[in-house]
Structure 1
């Protein structure tokens, strides 16, 4: 311990006692911290192992190896530290991004492609629309997921889920001249045929049971027998005069449509007509989701396929009305509607209750199969559908 300076005036200036005591404590602490210490047993073992490795010419990888080959020593530390800093920043950014993605997927698993978690979501069912039909299919549509239709998804479990909505499903072929009939005349015939299909099967008033005025306005009134038959059926429907053979109509007191969408799919073809004009064949299927008018919200579907043969005749050569179609022939196939009920309406059956009329006795048919011609079987026995 250093001795306190003398009080002799010739020595260093006198120090107060408290200052000298503080100086003494600081000096002793510095001496103790700088004094050599006995290395621990582990330190001695490590030192001895390194000494032996040096003697054998060995060095642990990355240990005392200095800068990387080709990098000057003055820059090595900076480059290494710089890369480490950049890596830390990169991982920090990636960490935030991954965390945000995990949260987003947890809230909405449908964002992931497919169904990796087996949630059975509707994303796979809501596939892209089918391209327009340009030729007869070679087979019926494949099986769909056995989903129950709901008010929000009335076409769930149906091949029509991928069909176009309403008028968008009636795609006209490119108009071309047919013999002496110019292309613009062919285009007029195609547009009139579409107007007839829309008025008879898609017009909301027609579907809700009203008189199909829009469809009737396309037909040539110079077909008196046809108009008499249609008027009789709309006024006093019967087995012989049933308007549903040409028009899709539901009893508003029995059922109401679900939403505003009716699915449609089919095709048109044309050729030279027999009365100096162009003949058009239309083959389309329409799918109608409905619920009971005053019952539980149980959704069912009725499927109607219609095949029409019409002609836009030459008014210069035949007694016809310009801009009107001659209805040459029409046929239909109806799936999920009561048999032997001839009141001018379609009557869908619901899974929870039996429909009116006799039990089906005819063959089972797939109402979505457009690969075959309409077949009325052995005399019109009431058949059953394999799906709706």
Structure 2
């Protein structure tokens, strides 16, 4: 069997039910006939005699130059016939790949759906219209703590907190707007992403961003850090885990959201931030079970004109905050998040509130919503 026939044999897939056997048999017969017709023939005795006579005449100089042009053209024609056969084989191969791409090692077309599903999402620039689609059921692990979560395609940490381009608003300069945006990002990072804050340490850098003259907010947070209770809960602003109970898995917290600004009511730049943070954690008792706590935070802050209002220059005034904490113990006010693990006894009472999707960013955190501790549809 010649090489070409072997190549065709490798692509023969008559076992594929989509391609009838009689079609392949006809293709094989036609191909073998084309190869026989185009193959070199053994010359006859008469042809050998003529060839020898022409060779002797050429040696004596009795033949004109260029007499071999005819045979050369004939050789070219023969090659074109072979390329025609090869073209038939290639066309058949292309048809096979179109029908069954898996026949080609590595699948040259690639799994475009899989690539799209794993590629990072672009920055969020507007309110989503729906919750993220359901992900394939996967168990998070120490090596892949975001497996089975839509947050796997979200940005890592501070990269997910994009500061919009500043421009003058309400009589405040571009520089003042930019200052407000940068300080808002710093507050979000130091409150929700700083490793020391997550370990339950005092969030000094975050507190330093807040205006000390705003004693109600600053005083409430300071009291919560010193002696937390239901009315003084540091979790309203800071993400904190008990280091004796859990530890983060890896160094990545997934982040998604957006930041906007406008002219405020107090000769100010008003910044609105809406971000969701996803924290993968594991127990410190040696267990390898990974779970995730998901927190969505709403924050409204301002930087007012110190010439018109009693404020500290370069500090943020908090106008409003809200949070939706998911997969953490209900009615426990010790200043720490307490994630639920299937392998551990639950902390706190059973949830009584509604079931919600913690990844759904399409709905506002309405102040009139049911804030009782509920369950989550996924983590």
Q: Distance in 1 between matches of 2:116 and 2:376?
A: 22
Q: Distance in 1 between matches of 2:369 and 2:300?
A: 24
Q: Distance in 1 between matches of 2:159 and 2:216?
A: 33
> Which residue number corresponds to residue 270 of structure 1?
261
For residue 258 of structure 1, the aligned residue among 249, 270, 275 is 249
Shift of 1:182: 1.5
Shift of 1:181: 1.1
> Which residue number corresponds to residue 73 of structure 1?
70
Shift of 1:381: 2.3
> Which residue number corresponds to residue 111 of structure 2?
114
Asked whether the equivalents of residues 170 and 267 of structure 2 are also in contact (C-alpha less than 8 Å), the reply is no
Q: Distance in 2 between matches of 1:167 and 1:193?
A: 12
Q: Distance in 1 between matches of 2:244 and 2:264?
A: 42
Shift of 1:352: 2.6
SS at match of 1:217: helix
How many pairs are equivalent?
303
CA distance 1:110–1:230, change in 2 (3 Å) = farther
> Which residue number corresponds to residue 302 of structure 2?
311
Q: 1:156-167 to 2 correspondence within 5 Å? A: 156-167=147-158
Q: Distance in 1 between matches of 2:240 and 2:267?
A: 34
Asked whether the equivalents of residues 257 and 290 of structure 1 are also in contact (C-alpha less than 8 Å), the reply is yes
CA offsets, 1:259-294, max 9 Å, x none?
000000001111111221111110000000000012
TM-score, normalised relative to structure 1: 0.71
Q: Given the alignment of the two structures, is residue 340 of structure 1 paired with residue 323 of structure 2, yes or no?
A: no
CA distance 1:114–1:346, change in 2 (3 Å) = same
CA offsets, 1:334-383, max 9 Å, x none?
11000011000000001233421111111001111111111477663220
CA distance 1:150–1:124, change in 2 (3 Å) = farther
SS at match of 2:118: coil
TM-score, normalised relative to structure 2: 0.73
Where does structure 1 differ by over 2 angstroms across 4 or more consecutive aligned residues? Answer: 60-64, 71-74, 76-87, 108-112, 123-126, 351-354, 375-381
Shift of 1:61: 6.7
Asked whether the equivalents of residues 199 and 215 of structure 1 are also in contact (C-alpha less than 8 Å), the reply is yes
Q: Distance in 1 between matches of 2:363 and 2:78?
A: 75
Q: 1:209-248 to 2 correspondence within 5 Å? A: 209-248=200-239
Q: Distance in 2 between matches of 1:128 and 1:145?
A: 15
CA offsets, 1:38-78, max 9 Å, x none?
xxxxxxxxxxxxxxxxxxxxxx97789x9xxxx95332465
SS at match of 2:187: helix
RMSD: 3.2
Asked whether the equivalents of residues 126 and 161 of structure 1 are also in contact (C-alpha less than 8 Å), the reply is no
Q: 1:1-388 to 2 correspondence within 5 Å? A: 72-76=69-73, 78-79=75-76, 113-114=110-111, 124=115, 127-375=118-366, 380-388=371-379
